[in-house]
Structure 1
Amino acid sequence: MIVNTTFDFLKELHQNNNREWFAENKKQYEVALQNSKLFFTEMNTELSKNDSIEKMNMFRIYRDVRFSKDKSPYKTNFGVSFSRTKPMLRGGYYLHIEPNNSFVGGGFWEPNKEDLLRIRKEFELDASEIRDIIADKNFKKMFGELMGEQLKTAPKGFDKEHSAIDLIRKKQFLVMRKFSDKEVLSNSFKDDVLATFLAMRPFFDYMSSVLTTNLNGESLY
């Protein structure tokens, strides 16, 4: 489980985001890192029992500040992603641990041009299945609604009056569930995260089906 000392380190890092403080507190960082890594590895094991996971990627705490106005050298969170096994399974899971800003997320962050067009064409043809998925009681309880950046108007080649234009305009297809610090530090957090990940599966499986077939439903692989 995530322990208090991990949160304590991240809170202090938020207040002292500089290399001198970090160097002086390297041991505390290593303890917090190991706690997070252990928890993420346990999540990978549990998730892999329910889905085919190709890779777990724990993000480094060091920020790339080359093109950022914010020159703070460190992130104030621990994050990890779990990638499903391609090409047949699409979508990715993400877990973010940060005081007052912990969440589970997932979906399709930056679909390439071909995938985005294929998704939009599917919605244009028939949006009933995706609407059923995002209207499901468990989906709405966990995530509320489908999130992500979208165009202000219809993409080129699509009718702005189409009944599914609210979905067609999207450039990203994301879900997110936030957790309080108390929830993160509870004994049930691992089960809560897993349940949240599994609630994404109908959405992921639908999108995987779309992205591995043509508009006639014929497999591309």
Structure 2
Amino acid sequence: RGRQVEAPSFYIHLGLDECFVASGVWHPAPETLRKIRHFVFDNPGSWKAAAHDAKFRKRFDLDDSEMLTRAPRGFPPEFEFADDLKRKNFVAYRNLEHATMTGPRLLSTLQKDLAGLAPFTDYLCAALDLEF
């Protein structure tokens, strides 16, 4: 058996209360979170393109359900993406209507969403030195 590696992934959720499509790293181990934060800090231009592009943000939200109150130790609070460094989860998502999840356009919607999430996922893979 090989060793397990924490990696970004795509996720499709169909539930009674909510439906959504997402990608990223949920509840990463401290070392994984440290790598992502340092990569964002060291590569802010590509982070901006991957997570803050206007077209991307029009379609997807970044999960802010669990955030630090201050920038993590070792990072300047005035950094352009200090709020992103506060994240405990690096996940982008889009809520979907139940009608979409059970309707004839599900496949085309998911294809478009997963393609739209790919640059974000690729960035996180690069942060963790993984192939996408």
Q: Relative contact order (alpha carbons < 8 A, sep ≥ 6): 1 or 2 greater?
A: 2
The alignment status of 1:122 with 2:36, answered yes or no, reads no
Residue 208 of structure 1: CA displacement? 0.8
Provide the C-alpha distance between the structure 2 equivalents of 1:99 and 1:113, rounded to a whole number of angstroms.
32
- The residue correspondences of 1:48-197 to structure 2 (distance < 5 A) are 90-99=7-16, 101-143=18-60, 145-148=61-64, 149-197=66-114
Provide the C-alpha distance between the structure 2 equivalents of 1:106 and 1:98, rounded to a whole number of angstroms.
17
Task: Report the AA paired with residue 159 of structure 1.
Answer: P
Which structure 1 residue ranges, 5 or more long, are not aligned?
1-85, 214-221
SS at match of 1:171: coil
* Mapped contact 2:44–2:81 kept (Cα < 8 A): yes
TM score, norm. by length of structure 2: 0.81
* Mapped contact 1:155–1:168 kept (Cα < 8 A): yes
Provide the C-alpha distance between the structure 2 equivalents of 1:156 and 1:137, rounded to a whole number of angstroms.
29
Provide the C-alpha distance between the structure 1 equivalents of 2:48 and 2:16, rounded to a whole number of angstroms.
34
Identity %: 25
Q: Decide which structure has the larger Cα Rg and report it.
A: 1
**Deviations 1:43-87 (Å, cap 9, x if unpaired)?**
xxxxxxxxxxxxxxxxxxxxxxxxxxxxxxxxxxxxxxxxxxx85
Provide the C-alpha distance between the structure 2 equivalents of 1:203 and 1:135, rounded to a whole number of angstroms.
10
Which structure 2 residue ranges, 5 or more long, are not aligned?
none
